[in-house]
Amino acid sequence: MSTMYSAKVMDHFANPRNVGELADANGVGEVGNAKCGDIMKMYLKIENNVIEDVKFKTFGCGAAIATSSIATEMIKGKTIDEALQLTNKAVVEALDGLPPVKLHCSVLAEQAVKSALSDYYTRQGVDPTPIIGCMSDDCHACSCEGQHE
């Protein structure tokens, strides 16, 4: 079974980076879906527009854990604008690929980061929708299409 996963996926599954919670997080996002069974929670500590620290907790399969782990590595130390550029495609590429049936995990990793950034903006008194877009609990679609420009 491990042959369908790259060495990087297996490494991030077996040795996930940045696991846990941040008590002083100023952005927290949780995404998941009963259909896919994976739930990701992302904690961000942002200072001066830079993601100083990031942690995650994921309930799900090995691919969900690996995508969460690599996503945290990809945004740690980056500016908010750089983190907003994170895409599920970039997550998949950083892991040297995922099986097609597991691509939704990379979508959830992207959404978890954006959900935490949305929470950060909300805590700052800023409407996150024009910056981040619509956040949806669904793995595959945005239920509020057309509500933002």
**CATH number among 3.20.20.150, 1.20.120.330, 3.90.1010.10, 3.30.70.120, domain 2-132:** 3.90.1010.10
pLDDT tens, position by position, 4-37? 899 999 999 999 999 999 999 999 999 997 666 8
Tell me what the mean pLDDT of segment 116-145 comes to.
76
As a whole number of angstroms, the distance between CA 46 and CA 58 comes to 21
142 CB burial (10 A radius; 0-12, 13-18, 19+):
middle
pLDDT for the residue 34: 65
Rounded to a whole number of angstroms, the distance between the first and last alpha carbons of the chain is 44
pLDDT tens, position by position, 42-90? 999 999 999 999 999 999 999 999 999 999 999 999 999 999 999 999 9
Q: Tell me the pLDDT band of 138, cut-offs 50, 70 and 90.
A: very low
pLDDT tens, position by position, 87-120? 999 999 999 999 999 998 999 999 999 999 999 9
pTM of the model: 0.88
Catalytically annotated residues: 36, 105
Q: Tell me the pLDDT band of 133, cut-offs 50, 70 and 90.
A: confident
